[in-house]
Amino acid sequence: MRAQAAYDELIRRARESSLLDSCATLLAWDEETYMPRAGAAHRGEQQALLAGLHHERVTHPRISELLAELEGSALTQDPLSATAVNVRELRRSYNRLTRLPRRLVEELARIVSLAQQEWVVAREKATFSRFRPWLEKIIALKRRQAEAIGYEDCPYDALLDEYEPDARSRALAGLFEVLRRELVPLVAAITYAGRKPDVAVLHRDYPLERQRQFGEQVASALGFDFQSGRLDTTTHPFFATIGPGDCRITTRYSAHCFNDGFFGILHEVGHGLYEQGLDAAHHGTPMGEAASLGLHESQSRLWENTVGRSYAFWQHFFPRARRTFGPILEDFALDEFHFAVNHVEASLNRVQADEVTYNLHILVRFELERALLDGELKAVDVPDAWNEKSRYYLGVTPENDAEGCLQDGHWGAGLVGYFPTYTLGNVYAAQFYARAAEELGDLDEAFARGQFGPFLDWLRVKIHRHGSRYRAAELIKHVTGALPDPQPLVKMLQTKYKRLYRI
């Protein structure tokens, strides 16, 4: 009875802290979507106050007492039970957060809130110098955060571990090397292929309202519940879960770039489906949360690319696209459109990048982040360093800062260490999809008929409902029988694009 009482109190405290955090998330969503720019300073103070209050709650000494009471008790004997998982993950979080001074947490929240608004303006003006002071402040604060948390090898690991528990930059460097070695020759072969898609169709005049309508129709057909979610526009697409029944996704539209808005929607829908698939009964506890950002990205990349760029997907949705956009698509055949949305070409923009070159974009950011944290790169030198790495890995050079180092909002949001989770998501997604195809049969046949439910149900049973029961590598092995491995991704990309480009 004593242990049960301790557990009940622990969960009550966890849920209260989660409720407070959801208030900060709502303010952050509003800041990125509807807040007037002049409100940035006040929003920063709001976020700093909430961050301090949240930190005070999650590091309260009583939590340590409750965890000590529960660890080793009968309630945690089964390591995969909800009780044991919650205790294990709350202990991990407590140990991490108690190393951070409240003043540092508050200052990070305040600076990040201001920096995000400065990034938006700097991006609009394509002027890095406006954002540079804020990046310097964020990197300095992130160094302090890494030192407070502690690390074995390099400060970047302390930040990476927040998003992908147990991941280490040395292992990631090896993963990126495998992908670079395998994919660069594929990019070269595609570049010199005799067969090319006509991508002009993607840059016709697509009315923004029709793009929104089509995107919402597709999102709903894939399983996103608009009674429990919404879609809005922003400078940089993201998702935000406020709580059970309130999952918000965003995108940005371009009148002359179909891919930008549509595949941005699919990406965030993947995140939204994961959030809507988590067990609401466990909300506010680790069992009701995704185990890692890499796993979260695996879901967004699955729906955006593996499903959304498949021929079967467009067999079903291309007729609807024609009805929605009318004359814009009437002179284009399905095969031609499918080839166009799978166009491979080294580009400047990560969000718009194809599957084959995408991970090279992440490699650029991974190396720059590590250099910034290690002190090997100064913020003032970021534009030149970005351009150099873009030339080296992608063979393209930005013409301005908006095309280059200002294109992503992650640094302004303080998300240093986040970028590698995109590549991990691609790796995980390929393994999950291969396993789903083995167990469910011909997924292409189902998608061509507009039947996406069986695949979504499989993901919810195999991945979503587990919450944080397993760490990422453990979950992948549990689902697929193998540890994380880049080879299924490499094989999938080589098979698909050699067939498309006939190389």
State percent of the chain over pLDDT 90.
99
Q: List b or e across 446-470, with b for residues whose CB sees 16 or more CB atoms inside 10 angstroms.
A: bbbeeebeebbebbbebbbebbbbb
Closest CA to 490 of 441, 438, 426: 426
Q: What pLDDT is recorded for position 351?
A: 87
- Report whether pLDDT(436) > 90: yes
| Strand 239-243 versus strand 229-233 pairing type | unpaired
Structure tokens at 284: 């506010």
What pTM was computed for the model?
0.95
For residue 466, pLDDT over 90 is answered with: yes
Cα 156 from Cα 374, distance rounded (Å): 8
Q: What is the pLDDT of residues 337-351, one digit of tens each?
A: 999 999 999 999 998
> How is the chain split among helix, strand and coil, in percent rounded to 5?
70, 5, 30
What's the pLDDT tens digit per position in 292-312?
Answer: 999 999 999 999 999 999 999
User: Which fold would CATH assign to domain 169-501?
Assistant: Neurolysin; domain 3 (1.10.1370)
Residue 474: pLDDT above 90?
Answer: yes
pLDDT digits (tens, 9 = 90+) for 146-180: 999 999 999 999 999 999 999 999 999 999 999 99
The catalytic residue among 106, 162, 164, 268 is: 268
| Contact (Cβ atoms closer than 8 angstroms) between residue 108 and residue 141 | yes
Domain positions in the chain: 2-150, 169-501
Which band of pLDDT confidence, cut at 50, 70 and 90, is reported for residue 480?
very high
Residue 236's pLDDT is 85
Closest to 111 measured CA to CA, from 145, 161, 70:
145
Angle between helices 2-33 and 61-70 (to 10 degrees): 130
Rounded to an integer, what distance in angstroms lies between the CA atom of residue 28 and that of residue 49?
13
Strand order in the sheet with 239-243: 229-233, 246-251, 239-243
Rounded Cα distance between 16 and 70, Å, is: 19
At 33-60, the pLDDT tens digits run: 999 999 999 999 999 999 999 999 999 9
430/443 Cα distance (integer angstroms)? 14
Q: How far apart are CA 489 and CA 314, in angstroms?
A: 22
What pLDDT does 412 receive?
Answer: 96
CA–CA distance, 353 with 40 (Å, rounded to integer): 31
pLDDT of residue 477: 98
Q: Which amino acid is at 91?
A: R
Q: Tell me the two tokens of residue 390.
A: 């873009």
Three-state SS across 26-87? Answer: HHHHHHHHCCCHHHHHHHHHHHHHHHHHHHHHHCCHHHHHHHHHHCCCHHHCCCCCHHHHHH
312 phi, psi to nearest 5 deg:
-60, -40
Q: What is the pLDDT of residues 410-433, one digit of tens each?
A: 999 999 999 999 999 999 999 999
- In this structure, are residues 417 and 362 in contact, taking their beta carbons and an 8 Å threshold? no
Judged against a pLDDT cut of 80, whether residue 69 lies above it is answered with yes
Contact 216, 231 (CB under 8 A): yes
Report d(CA 291, CA 164) in Å as an integer: 8
C-alpha–C-alpha distance, residues 372 and 104, integer Å: 19
Residue 176, both tokens = 């990126």
- Name 53's Cβ contacts closer than 8 Å, sequence gap at least 6: 20
> How would residue 442 be classed by pLDDT, with cut points 50, 70 and 90?
very high
Q: How many CB atoms lie within 10 A of CB 198?
A: 12
Contacts of 248 (CB under 8 A, 6+ apart): 29, 229, 230, 231, 232, 239, 240, 241, 242
Can you give the pLDDT at residue 1? 66
The three-point CA angle 250-107-43 to 5° equals 45
Q: If you average pLDDT over residues 242-256, what whole number do you get?
A: 96
Tens-digit pLDDT profile for residues 92-119: 999 999 999 999 999 999 999 999 999 9
The Cα 46–Cα 68 span in angstroms is 34
Active site residue 268: yes
In this structure, are residues 207 and 258 in contact, taking their beta carbons and an 8 Å threshold? no
How many Cα atoms are found within 13 Å in the side-chain-facing hemisphere of 406?
A: 26
Asked if residues 237 and 252 have their Cβ atoms less than 8 Å apart, the reply is yes
Q: Cα(first)–Cα(last) distance of the chain, in Å?
A: 67
